[in-house]
Amino acid sequence: MANDTLLIKHTGNGKQVEYPLLQSTLGADAVEIRNLYKDMGCFTHDPGFVSTASCSSKITYIDGDNGVLLYRGYPIEQLADQCEFTEVAYLLMHGELPNQQQLLNFNQEINDRAVIHESLRKFFDGFHYDAHPMAMLVGVVGSLSAFYHSEMNIKDPVQRLRAATRLIGKMPTIAAASFRHSVGRPFVYPRIDLSYCENFLNMMFSRSSQNYIDQNHYIDPGYVKALNLLFILHADHEQNASTSTVRLAASTGANPYACIAAGIAALWGPAHGGANEAVLNMLAEIGTLENVPKYIAKAKDHNDPFRLMGFGHRVYKNFDPRATIIRKTCYQVLEKTQSNDPLFELALAVEEQALKDDYFIEKKLYPNVDFYSGIIYKALNIPVEMFTVMFAIARTAGWVAHWLEMMEDSSMPISRPRQLYVGPPRRDFLNIHNR
Ligand code: ACO
């Protein structure tokens, strides 16, 4: 309600202060508490930011109880059904959907910016032959800052937009180069005649004797559609750990390439971008169809640390809207590729048995987006160690949108949390002979 406040009372000294409630367009309001320390002499303690809004944002809205995800107000279901990924990237960055001409110009700019400097390409030669693609991605994206010093005035909106578009454009090229280096294949240059997803697949899978996508542009449209969908679903998820990392780094005035590299580093952790890889590892561990009931029982056993990977979500407690969308595509891709990989049969058996099990029904544990995304990536021949890299390509759209939003807000202070100190009280230094 407008003008509502939150009254905070210190029961020790009786002091009480009313704090205004800031109104949201949708979802929970937030108490404006930045004067709490000045007023009351204490901090708030909220490890993991469970109840803390670190900023206000106009980009993405999530309602975990009702399975709602909106980008700039548009339901994810509508965008996933009707958009190409770059259209969604434009929406996230600019706040509005592009018209035809704007999308044409944006796509052209993305394609023009997909090439990387030859010196940057040579960076890959310095990585060990078996380097993890994420290790290369984080290093190479950070080093883009060494190539664009003259264009890093973050106070200039034109330079900011150029940097954001450059990052979206170059990410698939750097990602594919990371993969090719890790398997010892030569680098494939981006092509201006291909779409974002086509270009990525071509750079990943072309052979020196044969382009993955030939001059007649033939590629199975189902593959491109599936990749496009996955990129849209992973493009943004409001203040998740990697996006918050980008914002934290950006609050110091760091350049955009350094900020996005920080986001990539945060995404790398298994609790964030590594979940779809964990699903595939779990399926490999389960091994055979006969083992599925045994592993479902393990997941239900409180004395066993095993959990069904790709099930449950911290925010979505009834269903993950992205999982609902992706499920159908997952079946279509599996049908199309007619893959004989026994992992797929196993995945479908795990899904079927868990969904009719009382434990999973009662606790509202449904497959999340990453249960299916890993399976689709596998069917598209994307190697498991590239899964988090794929996530990073898509999430770059969200990261740069948040970075742009932040840079436009001149009132944003440096992010500098406080702490509840629980270490030793003041004590005097002891000479080494007296310890
Ligand atoms: N398998 C078995 N039991 C589970 C699972 C699971 N995947 N997930 C939750 N539970 C059980 C818990 O044991 C707990 O049971 P209890 O109430 O009897 O103690 C109950 O369900 C609630 O679980 P919490 O851990 O409290 O739920 P929380 O919201 O904290 O965790 C999380 C969410 C971390 C995603 C969890 O469901 C999980 O570990 N899932 C598997 C990993 C995974 O798929 N992660 C990817 C998430 S999607 C993404 O990040 C893009």
- Tell me which residue has its CA closest to atom 37 in ligand 1: 312
**Structural contact between residues 201 and 212, judged by C-beta atoms closer than 8 angstroms:** yes
> Does residue 210 carry a pLDDT above 70?
no
The per-residue pLDDT for 343 is 81
Tell me phi and psi for residue 20, to 5 degrees.
Answer: -70, 145
pLDDT in tens, 266-284: 999 877 888 888 899 999 9
For the Cβ of 350 lying below 6 angstroms from any atom of ligand 1, the answer is no
pLDDT in tens, 18-74: 999 999 999 999 999 999 999 999 999 999 998 999 999 999 999 988 999 999 999
Dihedral sign of CA atoms 10, 50, 361, 293 in order: negative
pLDDT top residue among 324 and 197: 197
For the chain, percent of residues with pLDDT exceeding 70: 96
Ligand 1 center to 232 CA (angstroms) = 24
Residue 339 binned pLDDT confidence (cut-offs 50, 70, 90): low
Domains and CATH numbers, the chain: 2-53 (2.20.28.60), 76-409 (1.10.580.10)
Give the residue from 359, 306, 351, 302 showing the smallest Cα distance to 330. Answer: 351
Q: Is 313 a catalytic residue?
A: yes
For the Cβ of 400 lying below 6 angstroms from any atom of ligand 1, the answer is no
Q: Which of 307, 317, 324 to mutate to test the pocket of ligand 1 (most atoms within 8 A of CB)?
A: 307
Q: Is 370 a catalytic residue?
A: yes
Choosing from 236, 313, 320, 402, the catalytic residue is: 313
What is the pTM (predicted TM-score) of this model?
Answer: 0.91
User: What DSSP designation does 292 have?
Assistant: H
The per-residue pLDDT for 202 is 92
Q: How far apart are CA 418 and CA 421, in angstroms?
A: 9
User: What DSSP designation does 210 have?
Assistant: B
Ligand 1 center to 195 CA (angstroms) = 37
For the Cβ of 160 lying below 6 angstroms from any atom of ligand 1, the answer is no
Residue 332 binned pLDDT confidence (cut-offs 50, 70, 90): confident
Choosing from 234, 236, 370, 402, the catalytic residue is: 370
User: What DSSP designation does 11 have?
Assistant: T
Give the residue from 201, 219, 271 showing the smallest Cα distance to 241. Answer: 271
Three-state secondary-structure class, residue 31? strand
Sheet holding 5-9, edge to edge: 5-9, 16-22, 30-31
Kindly give the number of the ligand 1 atom that is closest to the alpha carbon of 317: 29
Ligand 1 center to 316 CA (angstroms) = 11
What radius of gyration, in Å, describes the C-alpha atoms of the chain? 24
- Tell me which residue has its CA closest to atom 4 in ligand 1: 307
**Structural contact between residues 145 and 152, judged by C-beta atoms closer than 8 angstroms:** yes
The set of residues, in sequence order, having a beta carbon less than 8 Å from that of 253 and lying 6+ positions away, is 154
Outline where 356-431 has alpha helix (H): 358-362, 369-379, 387-408
pLDDT top residue among 341 and 102: 102
Q: Which two tokens stand for residue 389?
A: 């890299």
Q: Which two tokens stand for residue 391?
A: 């996530």
The per-residue pLDDT for 89 is 98
The per-residue pLDDT for 334 is 76
**Structural contact between residues 379 and 339, judged by C-beta atoms closer than 8 angstroms:** yes
The position carrying tokens 């883009």 is 144
**Structural contact between residues 359 and 390, judged by C-beta atoms closer than 8 angstroms:** no
First to last CA, the chain: 60
Ligand 1 center to 307 CA (angstroms) = 7
Tell me phi and psi for residue 420, to 5 degrees.
Answer: -100, 105
For the Cβ of 363 lying below 6 angstroms from any atom of ligand 1, the answer is yes
pLDDT in tens, 211-242: 666 655 567 788 899 999 999 999 999 999 99
Average pLDDT taken over every residue of the chain: 92
Kindly give the number of the ligand 1 atom that is closest to the alpha carbon of 311: 7
For the Cβ of 299 lying below 6 angstroms from any atom of ligand 1, the answer is yes
For residue 321, give Cα distances in angstroms to 64, 65, 69, 327, 385.
Answer: 9, 11, 7, 10, 26
For the chain, percent of residues with pLDDT exceeding 90: 75
For the Cβ of 307 lying below 6 angstroms from any atom of ligand 1, the answer is yes
The position carrying tokens 């390439």 is 257
